[in-house]
């Protein structure tokens, strides 16, 4: 079982301290890191104390006040606060405590963002240009890093931070499996690689990581530490320009490798006649999504791009394409 690396400690005070502490510990038993939730629960406990609530009780006045959107906060923060108190209310209700359960329904934030899905030709040109990066004495691993890194982002659907945080220990060259620690939503997971990508990792490691300690970065920067996102983004922009792929504020972006991986997986499974209700949870776990809804967005994007394929799928399994528009941006 994977264990968390960066759990924060929280101190809960006031009339809800006991129930919140037990609730928070039960959440952590899943093996995930809940630092954001802990932060909100800490504020919630302090607010309950300030409002003079009785022990193990949440009144309608308190819940309604907590669920009000603050003028200064983002839609995401507001939504996260409501989710936390809703889960706590369910927890208290199941244990027979006096609690008013939130009834507020937060509308989805409208978005006109659409990911860039790379064509096969674009991927080929990007990888070719990464392979041709010139050698710089002050940055000797720049070419090998870019050549493998961008293939890994596409081939495994990783977030850029997940790839850059890999250590030598996290890359199993024998089993062909990556270990991703403490990613978005505090999740840890194993990510299998294809045989071809695994072999590329072996050749890269023999060239650049031979003798490196297990806790050393798998993709080392010139100073021996982890590469910064900014440095990789600069290299990526140079590669796009060399590959003749125009770039605007909307993309293409590095994170679009992840979007492309997801859409290409779904397209492949649809053509193979796979049941989407079966494979979507698999893709969701592989990507490290917190909820299945995040993965369903890719199914909708696949439907937009390949309507003929989706019509064939619907004849087999019915209408499984969800509504809404909320693609992951980071």
The pLDDT tens digits of the residues spanning 243-267 come to 999 988 778 999 999 999 999 998 8
Which position has the higher pLDDT, 58 or 292? 58
CA quadruple 22, 23, 27, 33: dihedral sign? negative
Kindly report which listed range (26-30, 122-126, 176-180, 231-235) carries the lowest average pLDDT score.
26-30
- Phi and psi at 118, nearest 5°, equal -65, 140
Task: Give the pLDDT band of residue 130 (cuts 50, 70, 90).
Answer: very high
Q: Which residues of 117-141 are buried (b: 16+ CB within 10 A; e: fewer)?
A: bbeeebbebbbebbeebeeeeeeeb
Model pLDDT, residue 1:
43
Dump pLDDT digits (tens) for 168-210. Answer: 999 999 999 999 998 877 788 999 999 999 999 999 999 999 9
Judged by phi (left if over 0) then psi (alpha if -120 to 50, else beta), residue 161 lies in alpha
Which pair of tokens denotes residue 254? 């590095």
pLDDT of residue 302 exceeding 90, the answer is no
In the chain, domain spans: 17-99, 141-243
Q: 192 pairs with which residues across the strands?
A: 177
Using DSSP bridges, classify how beta strands 98-99 and 189-192 pair: parallel, antiparallel or unpaired: unpaired
Range 141-243 has CATH code 3.90.1150.10: no
**CA-to-CA distance for 77 and 85, rounded, in angstroms?**
13
Mean pLDDT value across the chain = 86
Question: Which residue has better confidence, 317 or 84?
Answer: 84
Helices (H) and strands (E) in the chain, counts: 13, 5
Q: Higher model confidence: residue 109 or residue 96?
A: 96
């Amino acid at each position: 079982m994977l264990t968390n690396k960066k759990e924060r400690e929280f101190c809960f005070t006031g009339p809800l301290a006991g129930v919140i502490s037990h609730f928070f510990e039960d959440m952590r038993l899943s093996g995930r890191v809940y630092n954001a939730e802990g932060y909100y629960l800490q504020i919630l406990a302090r607010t309950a104390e300030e409002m003079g609530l009785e022990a193990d009780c949440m009144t309608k006045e308190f819940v309604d006040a907590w669920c009000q959107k603050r003028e200064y906060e983002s839609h995401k923060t507001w939504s996260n606060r409501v989710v936390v108190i809703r889960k706590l209310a369910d927890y208290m209700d199941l244990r027979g405590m006096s609690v008013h359960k939130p009834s507020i329904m937060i509308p989805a934030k409208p978005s006109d963002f659409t990911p860039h899905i790379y064509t096969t030709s674009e991927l080929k040109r990007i990888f070719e240009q990464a392979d041709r990066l010139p050698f710089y004495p002050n940055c000797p691993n720049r070419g090998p890093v870019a050549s493998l890194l961008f293939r890994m982002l596409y081939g495994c659907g990783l977030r850029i931070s997940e790839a850059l945080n890999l250590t030598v220990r996290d890359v199993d060259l024998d089993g062909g499996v990556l270990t991703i620690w403490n990613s978005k939503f505090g999740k840890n997971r194993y990510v299998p690689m294809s045989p071809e990508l695994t072999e590329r990792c072996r050749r890269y490691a023999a060239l650049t990581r031979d003798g490196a300690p297990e806790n050393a970065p798998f993709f080392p920067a010139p100073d021996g530490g982890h590469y910064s996102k900014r440095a990789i983004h600069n290299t990526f922009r140079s590669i796009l320009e060399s590959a003749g792929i125009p770039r605007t504020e909307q993309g293409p972006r590095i994170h679009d490798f992840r979007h492309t991986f997801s859409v290409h997986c779904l397209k492949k499974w649809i053509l193979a006649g796979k049941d989407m209700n079966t494979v979507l949870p698999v893709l969701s776990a592989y990507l490290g999504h917190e909820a299945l809804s995040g993965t369903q967005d890719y199914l909708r994007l696949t439907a937009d791009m390949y309507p003929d394929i989706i019509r064939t799928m619907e004849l087999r399994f019915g209408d499984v394409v969800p509504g809404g528009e909320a693609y992951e941006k980071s």
